[in-house]
């Protein structure tokens, strides 16, 4: 297959389903993580598509798989400015897990092009385009070469940070393999600290980014007769059906933004910035350090004395939700989402996890607030609705009790 001909058959399949619990309340049911802002310019899904444009993918070869009506509408709306056509946003049954979504997407793309080579990618990752981005492009292009030769390939990345290493799934390979792509000999999911240190010393594995490249036909032939449209069919099941797998080894900066802390880390304008802000609302910070702040238009957020935490202000339905989450406890955000989803009418306007001595001061707007504290003590939340409807919220340490309003 000539180079130009091969590239003409490359498609991007963005997997844009999910439940929206990991960055709650920034993400939530009906507005999942992939549709949230990653930067002031792009949402996660927009950044994903722009990234793969730089590998040579064409706009009319970009497809997205969703699982709900709201996701389908959001995906079509956010991808329209990137010249992705609406018919290429496919809605599939919500019973499909991640591997099922790849299979369903492959079926749809195969109908468009039986020779299609598909790059499957999550739509909720960060890859730094200012640091070793050429390594990412090279890794994807090598994966395309192998996929074209009927060798399904995973895009892998070297991870040096122990905490991040423990939070990733890994593809192990034979270090004696001299190929550009290494044959995968096994997978390890989120190793504990002891095993992670051993794996890092051996240097015989890479983090699995979840970006997979294969021919549509290769995948569909492998899953003939298989029941895959339920969440019990996992990624490991799919990989086993595919047989021999290969992995590229990249050295780019990659992060799965699964927590508010990780979103803070990648949202800072430079590594030396102490704080990061997202959203269209006005944000004022005083004596804050190492924190993420998010608010929407028409809601001003004033923060005082917040350190190593995230403060997220977001309206959902009739309430405005405020989450104050310590970076060290950011994995508990899922519990917040589950709490509020399980209680359609919450009587109390606060919910705490590993937090104490926090207070919400009464005001003409406080009954519409639902404030959560995770791993943070001694905070005070004030609120005010102005006559024109504009909302002001302040979050501060109690010793800094001045009301921004």
Q: CATH assignment of 3-256, given 3.90.550.10, 3.30.530.20, 3.40.50.720, 3.40.50.1820? A: 3.90.550.10
pLDDT at 186: 92
* Number of neighbours of residue 334 by Cβ within 10 angstroms: 16
Q: Is the pLDDT of residue 3 over 60?
A: no
pTM: 0.88
Least confident of 63-67, 250-254, 255-259, 260-264: 255-259
Q: Is the pLDDT of residue 124 over 70?
A: yes
Distance between CA 181 and CA 106 in Å, rounded?
Answer: 23
User: Is 35 in contact with 68 (CB distance < 8 Å)?
Assistant: no
Question: Average pLDDT in the 9-36 region?
Answer: 90
Distance between CA 238 and CA 231 in Å, rounded?
Answer: 12
Distance between CA 109 and CA 111 in Å, rounded?
Answer: 5
Query: Could you give phi then psi for residue 402, rounded to 5 degrees?
Result: -65, 135
Question: Average pLDDT in the 376-404 region?
Answer: 85
Question: Average pLDDT in the 167-185 region?
Answer: 90
| Residue extent(s) of CATH 3.90.550.10 domains in the chain | 3-256
Question: Average pLDDT in the 313-335 region?
Answer: 93
Which residue did the predictor score with more confidence, 4 or 335? 335
User: Is 297 in contact with 286 (CB distance < 8 Å)?
Assistant: no
Torsion sign over Cα 115, 120, 126, 131 = negative
Distance between CA 129 and CA 367 in Å, rounded?
Answer: 44
Could you tell me the CA-to-CA distances from 131 to 235, 244, 251 in Å, in that order?
Answer: 29, 31, 9
Least confident of 87-91, 180-184, 276-280: 276-280
User: Is 209 in contact with 98 (CB distance < 8 Å)?
Assistant: no
Distance between CA 67 and CA 72 in Å, rounded?
Answer: 7
On the CB side of 6, CA atoms within 13 Å amount to 15
Q: What tens digit of pLDDT does each residue of 177-213 get?
A: 888 899 999 999 999 999 999 999 999 999 999 999 9
**What's the residue count for the chain?**
405
pLDDT at 401: 44
Q: What tens digit of pLDDT does each residue of 49-84 get?
A: 999 999 999 999 999 999 999 999 999 999 999 999
């Amino acid at each position: 297959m000539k180079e130009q001909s091969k590239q003409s058959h490359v498609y991007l399949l963005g997997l844009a389903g999910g439940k929206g619990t990991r960055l709650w309340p920034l993400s939530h049911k009906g507005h999942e993580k992939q549709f949230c802002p990653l930067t002031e310019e792009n949402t996660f899904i927009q950044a994903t598509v722009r990234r793969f444009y730089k590998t040579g993918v064409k706009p009319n070869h970009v497809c997205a798989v969703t699982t709900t009506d709201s996701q389908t509408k959001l995906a079509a709306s956010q991808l329209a400015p990137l010249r992705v056509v609406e018919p290429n946003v496919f809605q599939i049954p919500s019973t499909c897990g991640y591997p099922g979504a790849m299979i369903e997407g492959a079926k749809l793309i195969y109908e468009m092009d039986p020779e299609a080579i598909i790059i499957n990618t999550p739509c909720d990752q960060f890859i730094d385009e200012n640091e070793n981005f050429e390594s990412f492009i090279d890794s994807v292009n090598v994966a395309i070469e192998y996929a074209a030769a009927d060798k399904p390939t995973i895009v892998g990345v070297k991870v040096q940070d122990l905490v991040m290493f423990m939070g990733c799934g890994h593809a192990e390979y034979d270090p004696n393999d001299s190929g550009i792509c290494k044959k995968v000999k096994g997978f390890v999911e989120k190793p504990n600290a002891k095993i992670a240190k051993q794996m890092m010393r051996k240097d015989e594995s890479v983090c699995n980014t979840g970006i997979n490249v294969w021919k549509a036909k290769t995948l569909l032939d492998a899953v003939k007769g298989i029941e895959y449209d339920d969440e019990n069919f996992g990624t490991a099941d799919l990989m086993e059906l595919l047989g021999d797998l290969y992995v590229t080894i990249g050295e780019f900066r990659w992060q799965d933004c699964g927590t508010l802390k990780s979103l803070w880390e990648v949202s800072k304008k430079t590594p030396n910035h102490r704080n990061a802000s997202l959203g269209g609302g006005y944000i004022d910070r005083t004596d804050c350090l190492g924190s993420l702040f998010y608010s929407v238009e028409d809601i001003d957020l004033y923060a005082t004395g917040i350190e190593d935490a995230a403060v997220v202000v977001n309206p959902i339905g009739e309430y405005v939700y405020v989450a104050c989450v310590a970076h060290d406890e950011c994995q508990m955000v899922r519990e917040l989402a589950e709490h509020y989803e399980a209680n359609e009418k919450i009587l109390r306007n606060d919910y705490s996890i590993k937090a104490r001595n926090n207070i919400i001061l009464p005001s003409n707007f406080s009954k519409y607030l639902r404030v959560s504290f995770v791993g943070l003590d001694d905070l005070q939340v004030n609120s005010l609705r102005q006559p024109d409807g504009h909302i002001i919220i302040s979050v501060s340490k109690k010793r800094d009790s001045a009301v921004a309003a």
